[in-house]
Amino acid sequence: MKPKVYVTRELPERGMKIIKERFDAEVWPEYGPPPKQVIIEKARNVDALVTLLSDKIDAEVFDAAPSLKIIAQMAVGYDNIDVEEATRRGIYVTNTPGVLTETTADFTWALMMAVARRVVEADRYVREGKWKVGWHPSMLLGRDVYGATLGIVGAGRIGTAVARRAKCFNMKILYYDVVPNPQLEKETGAKFVDLDTLLKESDFISIHVPLTKETYHLINAEKLKLVKKTAYLINTARGPIVDEKALYEALKEGRLAGAALDVFEQEPTPIDNPLLKLDNVVVAPHIASASYETRSRMAEMVAENLVAFFEGRVPPNLVNPDVVKVRAPVKLI
Ligand code: GLV
């Protein structure tokens, strides 16, 4: 009998095809996420769950799922999953790292350029009929990205890919992380500094840390007091790393020039989020990895992780390696 898998959304074809062929798979058919209660119900007799970052997977789900052995997440981040609890219960957790690095760095760059050069505002300006004078020396002035100082918070794969782009723009690169990254320094000339120095000296601050207890509201009211009035904040990591209320205050009071946000404390962000009222804020609906190529490969990686586990191998993208001590992968296919 094929292992049972519940998939919380239709994935791109490349991954879905493998999952449907190799497993007894059921897929949540709607565009929006299944309610938690549905996940709990469906988890009752499955061997595996395929999840997205918007599915909260915690002890309540595990309690209902005695035969659950692996959660294959289609994302690099997995803060929606209680990994510690999963490990304790011998449940494998996998993610899809690497493949989305350059795609996410590209989008970070797009947001940075958009907010600094007021691309979205300019688009609205033209469409709304505000363009009455052909050319004016002070129309829609922005800030140069080329040659500016970029502060990268989190020097992992994506932070490093952003730094490589910055090098081509002749930027001075500062970075902060819990440990230095000598490879990043060698490749891009980036300088390791503490977070406060980074915030004080950067013209662009880009967030690339995972969301953890330690990084929750890492950028808060106190930290935002340190930034230059002419600086921009870009967040393509996770919303709760930035205290949105404090960010709004800083922007409104002119203590920060602008922000570009792909992620929010609550997603979807409510339409009355005051940040959406500000012209110097560029927003996107959590799409930094959303290219056809990358999403397709992410789905395929999900399938590869499942196949490896049920062929009795340790999955290639295991995020909780300690789980191996609790349970060995099971050969069911
Ligand atoms: C997207 O945010 C991801 O974690 O892959």
Domains of the chain: 4-97+292-325 (3.40.50.720), 101-283 (3.40.50.720)
The pLDDT value recorded for residue 51 is 98
Q: How many angstroms separate the CA atoms of 244 and 265, rounded?
A: 7
Tell me how far apart the alpha carbons of residues 15 and 297 are, in angstroms, rounded to a whole number.
Answer: 8
Tell me the CB-side half-sphere exposure of residue 215, using CA atoms within 13 A: 19
Pick the closest to residue 204 from 181, 182, 164, 235 (CA basis): 235
| Mutational test site, ligand 1, from 11, 101, 104, 106, max ligand atoms within 8 Å of CB | 104
CA pair distance 70, 59, nearest whole angstrom:
14
Q: How far is the CA of 1 from the centre of ligand 1 (A)?
A: 33
Return the closest-CA partner of residue 49 out of 327, 329, 305: 305
Task: For 70-99, write each residue's pLDDT tens digit.
Answer: 999 999 999 999 999 999 999 999 999 999
Active site residue 295: no
**Would the CB of 77 count as within 6 Å of ligand 1?**
yes
pLDDT tens digits, one per residue of 175-223? 999 999 999 999 999 999 999 999 999 999 999 999 999 999 999 999 9
pLDDT tens track for 146-167: 999 999 999 999 999 999 999 9
Question: pLDDT tens digit string along 291-311?
Answer: 999 999 999 999 999 999 999
Which residue in 208, 286, 295, 297 is the catalytic one? 286
Residue 286 among the catalytic residues: yes
Write out pLDDT tens, residues 225-262: 999 999 999 999 999 999 999 999 999 999 999 999 99
Residue 229 · residue 211 · CB < 8 Å: no
CB of 236 shorter than 6 A to ligand 1: no
Shortest-distance Cα residue to atom 5 of ligand 1: 75
Average of per-residue pLDDT values in the chain: 98
Return the ligand 1 atom nearest residue 238 CA: 2
Model confidence over 313-323: pLDDT tens digits? 999 999 999 99
**pTM of the predicted model as reported, rounded to 2 decimal places:** 0.96
